[in-house]
Structure 1
Amino acid sequence: MVLDIISEVREKQPLIHNLTNQVVMNFSANGLLAFGGSPIMAMAKEDAAEIAKLSDGVLINIGTLAEAQVQSMIIAGKAANEKGIPVVIDPVGVAATTLRTKAFQRIAAEVQPTAIKGNAGELAHLVGMSLETKGVDSVDTDNADEITRKVANKFDTLAIVTGKVDVISDGEEMISNQTGHAWLSQVTGAGCLLGSILTACLSTTGTPLKQAYTAVKFYGLAAEQAASQPEVNGPGTFAAHFIDALAMDLSQLEGSSS
């Protein structure tokens, strides 16, 4: 864990342009605010480039798609590439339909991602590997190391496979993270919010591997802290305490998980 990365996010409060799905906007905005970033949720193609150029990072999440949104994502991503700020692509449900597969392919053809984050089924699909999925969720989580490395090499990017164990690779080095809690999988938007926090961490100084590891490790510790509270009885009460935990200091989270 790199404390300096979290401290830098909270000091600079990076503005993150979230081109994310409609289901999770409120949760993502509140979670990023709690962590220390500054969210902007904007999808119009008419100002996508302008907002991206005002921002410190861009998150592209294909959870709820329409043609105009794909255009906005490409415009914002290209503007972010020109500015030199991080772009995170979250290919939500990319293996579920032809529309999602083609949308990702269009975006990746024009935008260079700093990181691609998703579950094992989603990222496996990007490199022609077959894993079982259910809707937008991954059922089969085998071969995460191989999937992560292949995605990183194919797209010349950092790849993060999320799951019970998170795996991060730049195509050569690989790091795994085992913090977290099962209730994250029962809160809509938990993975999408991680994409926003990952983007914020990638906007700091440091290496992408350490930045990404910081994001997933802190996220998992916050989930563990929230689940440990005596008044938490299930996913609903967990979600509220999880937002609280994202605002905590690292020492508080590490102390509660020891």
Structure 2
Amino acid sequence: MDTLESILETTRRGKPLVHFITNYVTVNDCANMTLAAGGSPIMADDPQEAEDIVSICSALVLNMGTPCERTFRSMLAAGKEANKRGKPVIFDPVGAGASTFRNELAATLLREVSLSVIKGNISEISFLTEGSGTTSGVDAHREALSTENNLNEHVRLAQRLSEKTGAVVAISGPIDIIADSREAWAVRNGHPAMAALSGTGCMSAAVIGCHAGANPQAPLLSCVCGMSGMGICGELAHERCQALNGGTGTYRMLLLDAMSRLDAKTLAARSNVQRC
């Protein structure tokens, strides 16, 4: 049976090539986090090569943080090609609910591409599931985040979207929720400092892409490993940043350092994961 530690070790050994069609705000962070997680990134977002690049990769990550008509076409073509080849597709619906164009892009991908993983904040997942959500730009309103008080409600939301799409659903927040239609997990790793750094959610999707690409038979556990591992790295980076009296720039560097040094022993010792 797969464990979080075995997922991590398989990724480190396999060095999966991950194809990203992502936003220009965090593209470099995603590339570097992929390398730190044990994978290899390729950022190819032109429609003329999207299908070709998918054919040589282990997984595809689609992020609609800065959508445009060109990347819309690329995501659709790459997603369909990944489906033909049996490659995992990870979708990060950044800002879903914020504009008509984003909503149409998300709806088209959900309709025409078989997604392995959907990872978003509570507002984005609520919009994809129910057609409504409380967005604040590309962020969720603080009052809507997952807590102990609303955990069961958010688990049910994730499972409804999983039933609708067939994908594993990951809701990021103070407590991360990862669910498919049969089971759900709560991840209580992470640190509030992660929210002060642009792109940590995109980086989490990159790590999930690495794990899912190396472990295509275990999408749910790949998500749990990715979210827990990223949270652990956030904790370690904060501890080291405090010791250095550093700020957000230092924290960003230390977050990458922590992921590059994360091993099975540390993951096993620090993961705070429970089945719901």
Q: Which runs of 5+ in 2 are unaligned?
A: none
1:29 Cα deviation after fit: 0.4
Corresponding position of 1:175: 185
Between the aligned partners of 1:256 and 1:107, the Cα distance in structure 2 is 36
Q: Which runs of 5+ in 1 are unaligned?
A: none
Structure 1 residue identity aligned to 2:244: E
Between the aligned partners of 1:161 and 1:15, the Cα distance in structure 2 is 25
Corresponding position of 2:168: 158
1:107 Cα deviation after fit: 1.6
Corresponding position of 1:222: 233
- Residue 108 (1) aligns with residue 110 (2): yes
Corresponding position of 1:147: 157
Aligned ranges 1:208-247 → 2 under 5 Å: 208-229=219-240, 230-247=243-260
Between the aligned partners of 2:77 and 2:96, the Cα distance in structure 1 is 20
Between the aligned partners of 2:85 and 2:40, the Cα distance in structure 1 is 18
Q: Helix, strand or coil: the match of 2:214?
A: coil
Task: Work out which of the residue numbers 89, 96, 99 in structure 2 matches 1:97.
Answer: 99
Structure 2 residue identity aligned to 1:236: G
What's the Cα RMSD here?
1.7
CA 1:256–1:174 in structure 2 vs 1: closer, same or farther (change >3 Å)? closer
Between the aligned partners of 2:24 and 2:233, the Cα distance in structure 1 is 24
Structure 2 residue identity aligned to 1:242: L
CA contact (8 A) 1:31 1:193 kept: yes
CA contact (8 A) 2:58 2:214 kept: no
Aligned ranges 1:45-194 → 2 under 5 Å: 45-128=47-130, 130-139=132-141, 140-141=144-145, 142=150, 143-194=153-204
Q: Helix, strand or coil: the match of 1:3?
A: helix
Q: Helix, strand or coil: the match of 1:203?
A: helix
CA contact (8 A) 1:224 1:257 kept: no
1:132 Cα deviation after fit: 2.1
Aligned structure 1 segments of 4 or more residues deviating by more than 6 angstroms: none
1:172 Cα deviation after fit: 1.6
CA contact (8 A) 1:123 1:148 kept: yes
TM-score by length of 1: 0.95
CA contact (8 A) 2:88 2:213 kept: yes
TM-score by length of 2: 0.89
CA contact (8 A) 1:34 1:247 kept: yes
Structure 1 residue identity aligned to 2:57: S
- Residue 196 (1) aligns with residue 206 (2): yes
CA 1:138–1:83 in structure 2 vs 1: closer, same or farther (change >3 Å)? same
Structure 2 residue identity aligned to 1:128: E
Give the share of equivalent positions with the same residue, in percent. 31
The one of the two structures with greater contact order (alpha-carbon pairs below 8 A, sep at least 6) is: 2
Between the aligned partners of 1:56 and 1:118, the Cα distance in structure 2 is 22
After superposition, the C-alpha distances for 1:74-125 in whole angstroms (9 at most, x for unaligned) are 0111111111010001000011111100011112221100010000000000
Structure 2 residue identity aligned to 1:119: N
Aligned length: 258
